[in-house]
């Protein structure tokens, strides 16, 4: 059963270029909240038909909510971005699914008629705020064996997936990772990436101001042969390497959502229509399987099966996590439906920001594939969760909005 209430559409989404989280990275001298301000200002500039007063809420996610990523980001960034003081805002944390949760939270508000339009997204400056920095993990988790110590190290959970499913071999993971780099390079060359990138002014104490205009993490020359000698930092003799993992990344994303009637009134063309969504929990020690039950649940709510899904945007936290999802649904490693523009292994994964990047890429693919009616965005979440959103292609000849099933049928 699709989301009850009014039709909810995503009309636009933008992101900053993603930078490597290191002392000489793109955003080494840039505040996290300033990156978020840049993307939200650009989102509003691109949609002048929307009077800012009509924005009913601003939900902004960050995983490590401290310093320049703290203090109720949705509210503070909204004020810094020039939104009217009447527009409220709040912060969200669901680790990697932060921006995804921000989107589905405001979508629910729109669906029930509480608001007509909202901005949702996320930011992560992992160079300043590494995952878990200053976190005080309750010792009961380990002392009472509520979780294994592996559950607190994402790379260790990836190694556990290799252990649990022998078919998920290192050669398969390396081949998938190299393919992600190739697909991103091809998409960039074909003009599919730059359309939603927001140039961000970046200061440098030695060179003055510059402009971040391109993603920093991709390594287009990556080959399987080149990966063979890489270290396995999460386990001696393991299978997970830096090349088959998403790099530590800085960046921000933002999306504009509203009900379909408001979009029509403003003559804004929807890029995605929300059908259903689901979040589920799994064993924290193998958090990478989270997208599997979340996708089953989201498809069930939509009245669909995987055979109905023509495009899949799955976050590539680790190659093995994607392979676990593909095997669960009997999808080939090189299925053209999966991450046609490459994924986080190439472009990076600024944790709480990544959910909207998936949506942006899916919407670009929908525009060039009107024959595809449904797609999903899905991701694993630290400490054992998964999230999936089912979307309909507004460019399809027979949009579901014409025959919505809003009752148990």
Angle at 145 between CA 142 and CA 147, to 5 degrees: 75
CA terminus-to-terminus distance, the chain: 8
Q: Which residues contact 13 (CB under 8 A, 6 or more apart)?
A: 43, 196, 253, 254, 255, 256, 271, 356, 359, 360, 363
| Residue 96 is among the residues annotated as catalytic for this protein | yes
* CA atoms in the 13 A half-sphere facing the CB of 370: 6
Pick the catalytic residue from 29, 96, 129, 369. 96
At a CB cut-off of 8 Å and minimum separation 6, what does 364 contact?
192, 195, 196, 341
Q: For residues 107-129, b (16+ Cβ closer than 10 Å) or e, as one string?
A: bbbbbeeebbbbbbbbbbbbbbb
Which residues are paired to 372 by β-bridges? none
Distance CA(77)–CA(303), nearest Å, equals 38
For every residue of 243-300, DSSP letters joined together read: GGBPPBEEEEEEEEEEEHHHHHHTTPPPSEEEEEEEEEE--GGGGGGTHHHHHHHHHH
Q: Which of 129, 192, 296, 349 is catalytic?
A: 349
Q: Which residues in 47-79 are b (16+ Cβ under 10 Å) and which e?
A: beebebebbbbbbbbbbbbeebbeeebbbbbbe
Neighbours of 306 (CB within 10 A): 16
Distance between CA atoms of residues 364 and 193, nearest Å: 9
- 380 in active site: yes
Using CA atoms of 196, 198, 204, 208 in order, give the dihedral in degrees to the nearest 10.
130
Count CB neighbours of 393 within 10 A.
26
Q: Which of 129, 296, 380, 395 is catalytic?
A: 380
Nearest CA among 95, 59, 102, 64 for reference residue 77: 59
- CB atoms under 10 Å from CB of 400, counted, come to 20
As annotated, the active-site residues are 96, 349, 380
């Amino acid at each position: 059963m699709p989301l009850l209430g009014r039709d909810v559409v995503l009309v636009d989404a933008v992101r900053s270029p993603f930078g490597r989280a290191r002392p000489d990275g793109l955003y080494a001298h840039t505040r996290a909240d300033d990156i978020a301000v840049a993307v939200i200002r650009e989102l509003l500039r691109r949609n002048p038909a929307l009077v800012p007063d009509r924005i009913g809420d601003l939900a902004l996610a960050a995983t490590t909510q401290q310093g320049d990523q703290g203090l109720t980001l949705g509210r503070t960034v909204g004020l810094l971005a020039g939104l009217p003081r009447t527009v409220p805002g709040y912060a969200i944390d669901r680790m990697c699914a932060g921006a995804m949760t921000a989107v589905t939270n405001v979508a629910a508000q729109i669906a029930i008629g509480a608001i007509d339009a909202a901005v949702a997204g996320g930011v992560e400056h992992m160079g300043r705020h590494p995952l878990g920095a200053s976190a005080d993990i309750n010792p009961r988790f380990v002392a009472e064996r509520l979780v294994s110590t592996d559950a607190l190290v994402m790379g260790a959970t990836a190694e556990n997936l290799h252990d649990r499913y022998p078919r998920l071999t290192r050669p398969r993971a390396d081949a998938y990772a190299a393919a992600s780099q190739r697909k991103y390079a091809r998409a960039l060359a074909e003009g599919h990436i730059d359309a939603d990138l927001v140039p961000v002014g970046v200061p440098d104490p030695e060179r003055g101001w510059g402009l971040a205009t391109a993603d920093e993490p991709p390594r287009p020359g990556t080959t399987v042969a080149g990966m063979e000698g890489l270290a396995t930092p999460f386990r001696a003799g393991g299978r997970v390497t830096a090349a088959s993992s998403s790099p530590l990344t800085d960046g921000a994303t933002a999306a504009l959502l509203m009900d379909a009637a408001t979009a029509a009134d403003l003559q804004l063309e929807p890029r995605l229509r929300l059908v259903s969504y689901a979040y589920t929990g799994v064993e924290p020690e193998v958090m990478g399987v989270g997208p599997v039950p979340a996708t089953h649940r989201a498809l069930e709510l939509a009245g669909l099966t995987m055979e109905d899904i023509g495009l899949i945007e799955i976050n590539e936290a680790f190659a093995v996590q994607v392979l676990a999802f593909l095997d669960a649904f009997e999808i080939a490693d090189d299925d053209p439906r999966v991450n046609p523009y490459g994924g986080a292994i190439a472009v990076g994964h600024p944790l709480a920001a990544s959910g909207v990047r998936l949506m942006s890429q899916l919407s670009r693919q929908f525009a060039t594939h009107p024959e595809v009616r449904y797609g999903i965005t899905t991701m694993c979440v630290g400490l054992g969760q998964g999230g999936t959103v089912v979307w309909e292609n507004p460019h399809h000849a027979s949009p579901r909005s014409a025959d919505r099933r809003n009752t148990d049928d």
